[in-house]
Amino acid sequence: MQLKNKNLLQTQAYIDGAFSSAASGATFPVTNPYDGSKLAEVADCGAEDTERAIQAAAKAFKVWRKFSAGKRARILKAWYLLQIENAADLAQILTLEQGKPLGEAKGEIRYGASFVEWFAEEARRIYGDVIPGHQSDKRIMTIKQPVGVVAAITPWNFPSAMITRKVAPALAAGCTVVIKPSELTPLSALALAELATQAGFPPGVINIVTTNKAPEVGTAMTASPIVRKLSFTGSTMVGKLLLGQCAATVKKVSLELGGNAPFIVFDDADMDKAVAGAVAAKYRNAGQTCICANRIFVQSSVYDDFITRFTVAVKEQQLGDGMTAGTVVGPMIEEKAVCSVEAIVSDAKDKGGLVLTGGKRSGSGSSLLFEPTVVANATRDMKVFTTEIFGPVAPVFRFETEEEVIEMANDTEYGLASYFYGRDYARIWRVAEALEYGMVGINTGMISTTVAPFGGVKHSGFGREGSKYGMDDYLEIKYLCWGGVE
């Protein structure tokens, strides 16, 4: 690993302002998904270490919450500037442990840092209200105060941005945090911790518990009465488990869970833009994002034209090592992820699906490289209709009418992201309102941005990240009633 700032490669947990080994002394390996090479041995923390981090956060909360909004903002802004200054190194760490192409990794670093910059500014805008009193001698006010200690559990697919998107608003609000990054990608989290130290955060404000024992650490977080808020991004199955565990201590909870995003192409769509949007929405990060286009629906009259153009575009996606110039699609994260995608493609073929390109592992390079795939003649009885694919496989369904495709698109327990292309403005309004999703991309396949609220409905979770709404889950509203004002 050729880093300019070698201090960014940390391998110990970050608790109470210092890097330290796990209490047990245990470690676990972090490997490069492209070639399986070992990058580092990282501290394998358990419940004892998690409790120490929670206690450190609780102690720091008493100090951090009293900092003025301006002082918190200045420290957050310093953290943002350090991330931008070290973006090349942070991207290299990210690509080596996660696999995505280096260009994508650089984009993630900039995207993740943008949340820190945004919420540094939002720290100054935590406003209350003055409400007309219900009686002549009464005055009513509301103020907003930080929730307290926040636990954040983040995934491997965006190991930097998923941390900053949760942590920045929490810190801006005056909360302190304990983070459990994925065991597959802890190095990006620890690099952010190193920069947090340089930025001037007091000890205990940010804590990172690295572990290969996710259930043990997760349970310690959810059971702790000190932790007042849990934010989780990951699978719906795990999210439901964590939500149940948080019930005993009645925590505030934010969940950003699985998706089954429809991508609809109507007969009046700009076909070139629809194809480009579908490629962008499907194959970014090798299809391993929760807002990936999971089911592509194309109106019958333009189905053949779209799928021909789409297949040509997909064939041009260069597969390879994320560190190699020109790579557009990197390796999948681990063997079981590839096996899952293979099973989904096999099921589609068995039920009449036609693989127009891809459909198998690459014959060269990494065993975790799966070719960008297009499956035509997709039908509702296939697993691709109900399962979150989380890989570079695009099933293309045919539909006849607006009513039919809305019913198909909404026929899922998920409700995170959705997309459609068309130019009839009346239909655009109807479809945007009818889709049961927290986010709708209209004539675009790229919807993630700092300034808009990110989140879903139904089994895709609740709560919003980013935008002015991103502070809400880290604040409590307190009502003050003043009597005797005469």
pLDDT, tens digit, for every residue of 448-480? 999 999 999 999 999 999 999 999 999 999 999
**Rounded Cα gap, residues 215 and 131, in angstroms:** 45
How far is the C-alpha of 110 from the C-alpha of 164, rounded, in Å?
11
> What are 212-224's pLDDT values in tens digits?
999 999 999 999 9
pLDDT band of 68, cuts 50, 70, 90: very high
CA angle 481–484–486, rounded 5-degree value = 120
Edge-to-edge strand order for the sheet containing 227-233?
A: 18-20, 13-15, 206-208, 176-180, 149-153, 227-233, 252-256, 461-462
- pLDDT tens figures, 122-152: 999 999 999 999 999 999 999 999 999 999 9
> Rg (Cα) of the chain, in Å, rounded?
23
Type and span of the H or E element at 387: none
- CA-based diameter of the chain, in Å? 83
Q: Which pLDDT score, from 0 to 100, does residue 363 have?
A: 82
Alpha-carbon span 420 to 458, nearest angstrom: 20
- C-alpha to C-alpha distance for 33 and 94, rounded to whole angstroms: 11
Task: Name the pLDDT band for 364 (thresholds 50, 70, 90).
Answer: confident
Burial of 325: CB neighbours in 10 Å, binned 0-12, 13-18, 19+: exposed
Mean pLDDT of the chain: 97
Between CA 100 and CA 91 the distance in angstroms is 10
Q: From the centroid of its chain, how far is CA 91?
A: 17
Residue the block writes with tokens 């998920």: 414
Q: Give pLDDT, residue 206.
A: 98
Among residues 290, 292, 371, 465, which one is catalytic? 290
- Give residue 27's pLDDT: 98
Question: What are the tokens at 224?
Answer: 């702790």
Is residue 256 annotated as a catalytic residue, yes or no? yes
> Mean pLDDT across the stretch 438-444?
98
Distance CA 174, CA 253 (A): 17
Q: Does domain 261-411+417-449 have CATH number 3.40.50.150?
A: no
Domains of the chain by residue range: 6-258+460-479, 261-411+417-449
Whats the size of the chain, residue-wise?
486
6-258+460-479 has which CATH code? 3.40.605.10
Under 8 Å between Cβ of 314 and 393? no
Residue among 392, 187, 379, 194 at smallest CA distance from 293: 392
Hey, do 6-258+460-479 and 261-411+417-449 end up sharing a CATH topology, with the first three levels equal? no
The reply to whether 290 belongs to the active site is yes
Reported as a pLDDT band with limits 50, 70 and 90, residue 327 is very high
Question: DSSP 3-state assignment of 380?
Answer: coil
**CA 406 to centroid of chain Cα atoms:** 26
pLDDT tens for 366-382 read 999 999 999 999 999 99
Task: Write down the pLDDT at residue 486.
Answer: 83
CA within 13 Å, CB half, 188: 35
Instruction: Select which of 122, 194, 256, 465 is catalytic.
Output: 256
431, pLDDT greater than 90: yes
Amino acid identity, residue 9? L
